[in-house]
Amino acid sequence: MVACLIVMMVLLFGNVTLRYVFNSGINVSDELSRLAFVWLIFLGAVLALRERAHLGVNMLVKRFGPMARRVTHLFCQGLVLWALWLMIDGGWQQTVIGMSTDLPVTGLPIAVFNAAVLYAAVFMMVLTILDVLSVLAGGPVPVDAEQDDPLA
């Protein structure tokens, strides 16, 4: 993620500086910056899932008993797995389609953008399956806002 931010910062700052000071520019700057931004977003989404930092509404679930929380959590993770499967399927199809189409300036295949979706969905699915296995094995059911949370 840091590399993506550095690439974006250097390319965009360099391009703006070159345009206003030297009346020239870096041709590939926009495409590579956009590529770094897309990868940054999907890398961040995987990291946020691993850290349980995604937004969630748990007002109702916090009032459930332990068994109802477990069932609700497993049901929700099942929905997440289904959505991730749809992302994997669509990401794969778009990546294959994008292999035959090149970006106009860099000549890279458009698949480099679509591969970010595929990467994120696969790793998010792995993390979700590990969570489901942990809960099924009797581990604690994660609740995002615990009682000791000052914002809860």
Can you tell me the mean pLDDT for 99-118? Answer: 90
Structural domain includes residue 5: no
Structural domain includes residue 13: no
What domain count does the chain have? Answer: 1
**Model confidence at 152, in pLDDT bands (50, 70, 90)?**
very low
Structural domain includes residue 4: no
Structural domain includes residue 55: yes
Question: Mind listing the pLDDT tens digit for each residue in 35-89?
Answer: 889 999 999 999 999 988 877 777 788 888 888 888 988 999 999 999 999 999 9
Can you tell me the mean pLDDT for 4-21? Answer: 82
pLDDT at 144: 58
Structural domain includes residue 63: yes
**Selection from 80, 70, 64 nearest residue 120 by Cα:** 80
Q: State how far the alpha carbon of 23 is from the alpha carbons of 20, 62, 80, 105, in Å.
A: 6, 59, 49, 19
pLDDT at 118: 94
Structural domain includes residue 11: no
* Cα distance from N-terminal residue to C-terminal residue, the chain: 30
Tokens of residue 133, six digits: 């296995």
| Amino acid found at 40 | L
Structural domain includes residue 150: no
Give the 3-state secondary structure percentages of the chain, helix then strand then coil, rounded to 5.
70, 0, 30
Whole domain around residue 77: which residue ranges? 24-142
**Taking the model in full, what pTM does it have?**
0.80
Structural domain includes residue 75: yes
| Amino acid found at 68 | A
